[in-house]
Structure 1
């Protein structure tokens, strides 16, 4: 899902954006993400973004009020419920293939994190600090995945394959938090010898498979 923030029709002056305006806005977003991959948001200035985008600082303000706003716009384009991940939920899960599918899910999720690490960390920190714009784009990004997983859990509960003492939505949200932390901290796990990344992936996948009613034998 992309929000109105990700696909605006007008610039800051209320003028409808044509192809040229959209391209300029695109360059500003891409320049910001590029900078964010190297330095924290607190060190990024409008003049830096404009220079990287090969435009003027005044032009920046035609499209965004601040650095934080362009970062929010970039975040709104991130869809963690990727087509590959959603395709897993559209396929059939069985006792024989549940761990394979769950491992694929975890790997796809953390690969997405790895590809957008700086932006996701910045988005999540802003959301956790209470910025409602970032809270909204974060929720939009993961909602389809949360719903798809919850639907699988409901089906497992109704079939008696998994306990019903916890609501499916709560279980889905808990697994989502686990995936988020694994994605955010995977570099830490890579650096440790006693807790490997592969071990964490397997542990996370086991929880996913169990939640949908097909625990590994």
Structure 2
């Protein structure tokens, strides 16, 4: 993406762009900051999950997460590519966006749960981080289904719901 691409789409001159932004990265970061205000209430979705029967609540959470990604795919993909390359501003932008949901998941797992499903040494935050990584990657690749395979969007969502629900189910602390 170039300044020319942006200014052509916005029907403004490059000089106007440079009044507001130093470069394309700064413009993308401004869009990401704006998206923070548009995040769905993921923490409420997490808190609404019934750990005795988590599948419906987890499905609502996964679908809401993927819907947000569908709506903002281009900018979220740019965010992740830059963050994965180690760009600190984009790493912080990603962390800022993920933090509320991660905190809610961590609280959910800690409340009423003993050790993690037979893995007492597994830190809850590590499990949450892995699950968020899974959701982030799923959101990025769900539209790239291999042709000729019986892997539909619905089945990929089912897989994510199964993994998260299995970990989230209430069990007796051991």
TM-score range, shorter chain: 0.7 to 0.9
1:121 paired residue among 66, 74, 77: 77
2:21 paired residue among 24, 46, 64: 64
Residue in structure 2 matched with residue 90 of structure 1 by the alignment: 47
Give runs of aligned pairs for residues 1-217 of structure 1, distance below 5 A: 41=1, 44=2, 46-79=3-36, 82-83=40-41, 85-96=42-53, 98-158=54-114, 162-163=117-118, 164-189=120-145, 191-214=147-170
Deviates more, 1:181-190 or 1:191-200: 191-200
Quickly say closer, same or farther: Cα 1:60–1:147, change in 2 above 3 A.
same
Q: 1:73-128 CA distances to partner (integer Å, 9 max, x unpaired)?
A: 11222238521x322223251423x1111111111111111111111111110111
Q: Distance in 2 between matches of 1:165 and 1:119?
A: 37
TM-score (norm 1): 0.70
**Which structure's relative contact order is higher, taking Cα pairs within 8 Å and 6+ residues apart?**
2
Bigger Rg over Cα: 1
5+ residue gaps, structure 2: none
SS of the residue corresponding to residue 144 of structure 2 reads helix
Contact 1:86 1:145 in 2 (8 A): yes
TM-score (norm 2): 0.85
Residue 192 of structure 1: how far off its partner (Å): 4.8
| C-alpha RMSD of the superposition | 2.2
SS of the residue corresponding to residue 95 of structure 1 reads coil
5+ residue gaps, structure 1: 1-40
Q: Distance in 2 between matches of 1:81 and 1:90?
A: 16
Contact 2:46 2:104 in 1 (8 A): yes
- After the TM superposition, list the runs of 4 or more consecutive aligned residues in structure 1 that deviate by more than 6 angstroms: none
Contact 1:161 1:214 in 2 (8 A): no
Residue 161 of structure 1: how far off its partner (Å): 7.4
Q: Distance in 1 between matches of 2:57 and 2:142?
A: 20
